[in-house]
Amino acid sequence: MIVRCVHIISPTTGEVVTDHPAIRVGAEYPVLEVITTGNKVLLRIPELLDTTEYRDSPGLWAAAMFTVVSSRMPSCWVAELRDGRLTLAPREWQRAGFWDDYFDVVPAAVDDYDRLRAEILADA
């Protein structure tokens, strides 16, 4: 799934802002994960370094910031419903603590992220 940023909503204030260092209006991003709760939808996307490369620091952004460019779903995504939250992502990323392990640079989590990120980008 590919989305285009149409405006930026500050993750800290919830207000529309003109710019942010991690995301750009008009840029297209692959969606790595979709998380829905009762009142919001979040997309996990990698930060764009330039027009062709992504930093391996995927952030969560409000889905309202984007329009869908390609709705093709990555083949490695599975749906999980837990604690009132629906997640679409690789199964390995849905285990409790995965993102903590990834950002703490636990080798197994980093390996799972790298492998599945490559799959998602190939499917996009």
pLDDT digits (tens, 9 = 90+) for 42-94: 999 987 555 555 557 788 999 999 999 999 999 999 999 988 999 999 999 99
Percent of the chain past pLDDT 70, that is, above it, reads 93
**Pairwise CA distance, residues 29 & 53, whole Å:** 10
Q: What angle do CA 55, 44, 118 make, to 5 degrees?
A: 55
